[in-house]
Amino acid sequence: MRGLEEEFIPSTPGKFKDKTYYSSNRQFHRCFASTSTMFLWALFLLALTASYLSFQSFMDSGTRYLSSTGSLHWEKQVRDSAQIHRVNGMSVLVTGAAGFVGSHVSIALKKRGDGVVGIDNFNNYYDPSLKKARKNLLNLQNVYLIEGDINDVRMLTKLFDIVAFTHVMHLAAQAGVRYAMENPKSYVHSNIAGLVTLLEACKNANPQPAIVWASSSSVYGLNEKVPFSESDRTDQPASLYAATKKAGEEITHTYNHIYGLSITGLRFFTVYGPWGRPDMAYFSFTRNILQGKPITVYRGKNRVDLARDFTYIDDIVKGCVGSLDTAGKSTGSGGKKRAPAMFRIFNLGNTSPVTVPMMVAMLEKHLKVKAKKHVLDMPGNGDVPFTHANISLAHKELGYKPTTNLQTGLGKFVRWYLSYYGYSQEKSIK
């Protein structure tokens, strides 16, 4: 049986010590002085390491306590950011707040005195450094941005526990039409599972917030009737992205019907502008043109050019804010509907489609560089040949009236791009 002292001696030094002891008593005496000194040093170092480690863990847990989700410091930041600073203002939870539309809407709301709290999961679908830069913009406007996923039930529950949000502006999504063929699950994760998780949290909240959320022009899919009206058929999606957005419209309808959530779905038409998404054609074309790289321009059946109802970001922001301002209250409480609640869907487009080659020509003019174009027949990747919004409903109900044409909007985008990526005018415009 091993003795108690032996039990407490760390295995390796213990073994070493035992060997030395039994091998020679004389050697033991000779070495006694130096061994005991070493032992004392070892003890000293051990104590030093232990105290360093416990100090580290104390510091770590202290930092976690201060900044992690649910900590007192976190709660204070959330509450401060949600604070309303105008009469009849609203307190809005913006999901996808580090995204293109999310960051613009958050800033617009905060600037007019509404309370805004943002959430974003900072995924790497495109360069997260651009999302971090947008986060810095939000910081400057005192918008607190939580790094979190809308699938995180605990985080959402906590948020609704500490703030009585009047509205949710739901913009977090897996965007992009063609990427759905590469990573279908990410669309299900964000656009279906994430949406349901968020709606569950909203339905359980007391008071329930009114919800405005981003659907997409892509729900019109293979619809050929132009311009696209909200009452047109949307049961022929051409991509999984479109299918998840269409599913979102049905899912939100269910939550409106059963739980009394006030819902406004916005069908955005190819939104572009400063701080935009690098995966979109106008953005990646600009990058390639400036770098002297070729761009691929898709062409439709029978060599017909593809066209989009490109819509400038400031117009979209006005449509989002108008939707929040006109949204009726949710009617449920305690997870039960008390009365019928508002359910709306609006097109937010520009009503003047432009072909992709024309868009490229505008970029060439602004950049003063000729693009190296590869024209390719549109692959079967989920694209639709054209989009064109009828916006009369949004005009009537929201006062929505886009004012920026593509030529002007691309000019503003190019100016931002050159400045953000550090191009001097001389360097880019040869």
- Ramachandran sector of residue 221 (left: φ over 0; alpha: ψ -120 to 50; beta: rest): left
Lookup: tokens for 77: 């930041």
What's phi and psi for 235, nearest 5 deg? -110, 20
Compare residues 202 and 297 and give the one whose CB is closer to ligand UGB. Answer: 297
Lookup: tokens for 221: 């899919």
241 tagged catalytic: yes
**Are 143 and 97 spatial neighbours (Cβ–Cβ below 8 Å)?**
yes
CA of 391: how far to CAs of 86, 100, 135, 215, 355, in Å? 30, 22, 31, 15, 19
Q: Choose, from 126, 179, 187, 241, the residue flagged as catalytic.
A: 241
Least Å distance between CB 416 and ligand UGB? Answer: 17
Strand 271-272 relative to strand 263-268: parallel, antiparallel, unpaired? Answer: unpaired
Least Å distance between CB 403 and ligand UGB? Answer: 19
CA of 1: how far to CAs of 7, 14, 103, 122, 357, in Å? 10, 16, 69, 58, 87
Least Å distance between CB 48 and ligand UGB? Answer: 56
Q: Which residue is nearest to ligand UGB (CB)?
A: 216
Q: For every residue of 362-403, which 3-state class applies, written as one string?
A: HHHHHHCCCCEEEEEECCCCCCCCECCECCHHHHHHHCCCCC
**Are 97 and 82 spatial neighbours (Cβ–Cβ below 8 Å)?**
no
Compare residues 150 and 266 and give the one whose CB is closer to ligand UGB. Answer: 266
CA torsion angle for 327, 324, 161, 199 (degrees, to 10)?
Answer: 70
Least Å distance between CB 270 and ligand UGB? Answer: 4
Residues contacting residue 42 through CB under 8 Å, at least 6 positions apart: 13
Q: State the Cα–Cα distance between residues 190 and 196, nearest whole angstrom.
A: 9
Least Å distance between CB 280 and ligand UGB? Answer: 4
Compare residues 35 and 123 and give the one whose CB is closer to ligand UGB. Answer: 123
Interface ranges with ligand UGB (CB under 6 A): 175-177, 216-218, 268-270, 280-281, 296-298, 306, 308, 356, 383
Compare residues 106 and 216 and give the one whose CB is closer to ligand UGB. Answer: 216
Compare residues 91 and 311 and give the one whose CB is closer to ligand UGB. Answer: 311
Least Å distance between CB 368 and ligand UGB? Answer: 22
Compare residues 209 and 221 and give the one whose CB is closer to ligand UGB. Answer: 221
Catalytic residues: 241
